[in-house]
Amino acid sequence: MGYAQGTLLNEEITEFINNVWIYFEEQIEEVLPTMPKWIADWIADIGLDLALDATYEMTKYYTSPDVYEEIKGMSDASGVDYNTAVRVHMIAGLTQGKCSMFGAWGPALDPSSSTELLQLRALDWDMDGPFRNHPGVTVYHPDEGFAYANIGMTGFVGSLTGVSENKLGISEIGVTYPDDSFGSESRIGTPFIFILKDILHKDYTLDDATSRLASARRTCDLILGVGDGKMKEFRGYQYSYSQLHEFNDLNMRPNNSTWHPKMPGLVYWGMDWLCPAYNYVLSEQLKQHYGKITPEVAIKYITSVEMSGDNHLSFYDLTNQIFYVSFAAPHNVGGNPAAYARQFTVFDAEQLFAEEKPKLL
C-alpha cells in the first residue's frame, strides 16, 4: 500500500515529509510545549534526531510491522528519505493537540433523521506549520483486514481521524491538563496513531476496539473515542500508560455538573480533560440543540460556536456510512483559515469502500 501511495503521490509526499521535518527542526522550541514533558526534556537534552530515533527503537517492538513496511514502500516509490519519514511519524505521534469529540445517539438526535449515531472528531493542531497545505483522504483496500478511510495529511500513514467499512469511527484528544486519575505515562509502547490505525484496519466491533486499547502497551495521556454504527454506540476512553477507563453517557468523567454535565445519549469532551471553558461551551451547544442534532445542525451550530477543529474536523454518520470533512485553508488562501469555519465535503464511505480493489498490471 505504501508503494502505491508513493508512486501515485510522489511529489506531494516528498514535499510533505521534507517540509514538516524542516519546520520541526526550525520551530522545535515552539513545538516542545505540545509534547509530553519526558520527550520534550529528552529532545532538549540530546537533540531532535537522536530523541526521535530512540523513540522509534523503543516503540517498534510494540507496533505492527506492516506500519513500517508501508512507510518503507512509500519511501522507496517516492524517493523521500525513510528515516526522515519515520521521524515525522514519531513526532506526530507524540504531540498532543487541543481537540474535541462527541458521540451522540438516541434521545440526543433528531428523531426525523436517519442518523442513529453521530460522532465528531475535531483536530486543533499547529496552524503555523505546513500541515494544512497537505490535506488528504486516503482509502485503503488491504489484502488482509478491512477497508478504511484515513483522513488527515497526504504522506501521513498514522491515523488521527477516520472510519472503516465496519462502521467504526475514531476520535482523539491530547491531554495537557490531566488529574491524578490518569496515573503515569511511558516512553515505551505503541504510538497512539498506530493503535487507532489498527482499530480501523483490523477491528470489527466496538468491543474489539476496547480489547485492543486494554491490551496495548499504552504511552501518553489521551482521551480516545470509538463509535460503532452497527451497535449504534459510542465509548470514550481515559487513556494512559497505567490506566484505561471506558465511559458511556452514565459514567462520563470528569464529574462536574456545571461545565461537563451528563446527558442521555451523549459522551463528549472539549479540548482537554480539565478544560472548563471549552467543555462548558460545547455542553451548552449540545444542550441547546438536544433532541434536534443532525450532521447539518452540528456543523452550523455546535463546533462553529465552540470554535474547535481548526486544522480539520469530521462528522461521521456511522449508521449511514457518510462522513463530512472540512480542512483548514492552505497558507496561500485568504479568509478565515479554520476548518470549522469553512465548507464541508460529504463522502459516501459505503461507495468508497465498494470501489474495486486496484490490480497490478
C-alpha cell at 40: 520534550
Among 133, 173, 186, residue whose Cα is nearest residue 156: 133
Q: Which band of pLDDT confidence, cut at 50, 70 and 90, is reported for residue 48?
A: confident
pLDDT over 90 at 245, yes or no: yes
Q: Which uninterrupted H or E stretch holds 103?
A: strand 99-105
Rounded Cα distance, 48 and 29, in Å: 11
- Which of 39-43, 71-75, 227-231 has the weakest average pLDDT? 39-43
Summarised one tens digit per residue, pLDDT across range 273-299 is 999 999 999 999 999 999 999 999 999
Task: Please state the rounded mean pLDDT for residues 257-262.
Answer: 98
* DSSP annotation string for 177-217: S--GGG----SSS--HHHHHHHHHHH--SHHHHHHHHHHS-
Question: Which residues lie below 8 Å from residue 143, measured CB to CB, with a gap of 6+?
Answer: none
Task: Please state the rounded mean pLDDT for residues 64-91.
Answer: 93
pLDDT over 70 at 350, yes or no: yes
HSE value, Cβ hemisphere, 13 Å, CA-based, for 8:
9
pLDDT value of residue 53: 85
Q: Which band of pLDDT confidence, cut at 50, 70 and 90, is reported for residue 187?
A: confident
pLDDT value of residue 2: 86
What CA dihedral angle connects 281, 296, 269 and 211, to 10 degrees?
170
Angle at 332 between CA 338 and CA 32, to 5 degrees: 60
pLDDT over 80 at 26, yes or no: no
